[in-house]
Amino acid sequence: MGQDAVLLDVWDRIVSELAQFQDQASAVARGQVVNAISGSPCGQDTGCAAKVFAVEYARTAKPQWRDRAEAALTAMDQADPYGGLPEPVWDVLGWHDNPGSVYVTGTTLDAIWSARRILGCELGLEQGRRLMDYLWTCRVGPGLFAHDTIRPGVKMPPIQNIAAFALYMMTVIEQAPSAADHPILGDRDPAIWHLLAGQRRDGLWPYHTQGLAGRLGLRCPLLARFGRFNETWREADFMHHCLVLYYLGKTAAMRQHRRLVDGVRLGWSFVRENLEPVGQDELRCRWSWEKRPWGPRYCNYSDTNTYFLILACLPVMRELGIVDQLEADRVGQGVVNHISRALLNEEGRHPSIRPAEGPVETIRCILPMVEQSVAWKGSLLADWLEYNGGRLSGGLSASGG
């Protein structure tokens, strides 16, 4: 099977699954998409599916995919994504919503903006001030953001990938006249400072935003080992590192910020050093540096979303001049080959992409999470498909960028 055929085979599995789950939701929530993990319609899956369907329409020119994309966008308009979307989470009491998740809001709005661009629609930035008001409810301090809306009386730590989301959304939304004078826009430079200061010397971004003690651990682990320092600088996983890399890269491409580009370059070097060859034409992630959970917990260790983030990063790294065409093709083909050979479930089993890989001792400890569905994976893979659009059968129309 040729390289393009391998990519399209993975893509077709995702598109087909999302169409099936949109049909399942149609009786109770037209246009929405059921999440394969929670079994209920999900805003993040619906927004990401809108982008997937829009790219499939641009690729095939079949109106059914435009209809599906527009139905998903209409459903999301009714869900008020600019006010902050909830994240469904699971515990012993079952599924419930964490209100105002920056992760869910950021991934969903990014997919919605892409879908609208591909379909030739306005981005809908007139609600920019509402989005800025929402981000203010997640603000811990200048340039620092919590994972969700901060509840009264609850102390929530600042998270690095969430700051990257917030910075990206602020950079996009600053174009909206309604948001031009919002005070949170003053957090853009502090967010950049914290993200660059919170990067390890080898390029890795740990999960938590670091204070002084944590930054000592980042820059001088030997010193930190002999002191009473906050150990959160050790908490990291490949997926969240790539999440920071992706959104900082997109922000750097818009802002042309030299120090930000340097940080992204260092972040990509970490990815480069932790992709290992399998045979002649396959690349897999080296997970051995991640911690191993000792019991059931929410975590993103060995998370296969990492592969799709790497694919989505490649066009951004190419735009910034961090990789050349040869490296982009080599990494992209190697990662897609690994997904196709090692991560696809058998036909008819959902999700069609395995959520995690690695030792069973790790996988059995990971609790169910809605992001384990294929919707976000498809939204990320759409970036790589668009980038390669001219080489794929059917191509991508001009409206697809």
In whole angstroms, what is the distance from residue 35 CA to residue 371 CA?
A: 9
Count of positions (residues) in the chain:
401
Indicate the SS3 state at residue 208.
strand
Whole-Å CA distances, 399 to 15, 56, 78, 180, 184: 19, 12, 25, 28, 33
Looking at residue 401, what is its pLDDT? 35
Indicate the SS3 state at residue 333.
helix
The position carrying tokens 């997926």 is 239
Indicate the SS3 state at residue 181.
coil
In whole angstroms, what is the distance from residue 304 CA to residue 362 CA?
A: 13
Ordered by where they begin, the domains of the chain are 82-197+237-394 (1.50.10.10)
**CA 163 distance to own-chain centroid:** 13
- In contact, 274 and 290? CB cutoff 8 Å: no
Q: Checking phi first, is residue 143 left (phi over 0); if not, alpha (psi -120 to 50) or beta?
A: left
pTM of the model: 0.94
In whole angstroms, what is the distance from residue 136 CA to residue 83 CA?
A: 11
**CA 296 distance to own-chain centroid:** 23
Looking at residue 125, what is its pLDDT? 87
Q: What is the pLDDT of residues 11-64, one digit of tens each?
A: 999 999 999 999 999 888 899 999 999 999 999 999 999 999 999 999 999 999
Low-confidence ranges of the chain (pLDDT < 70): 1, 211-234, 390-401
Residue type, 317: M
- In contact, 184 and 170? CB cutoff 8 Å: yes
Strands (E), 92-158: 94-101, 139-141, 144-145
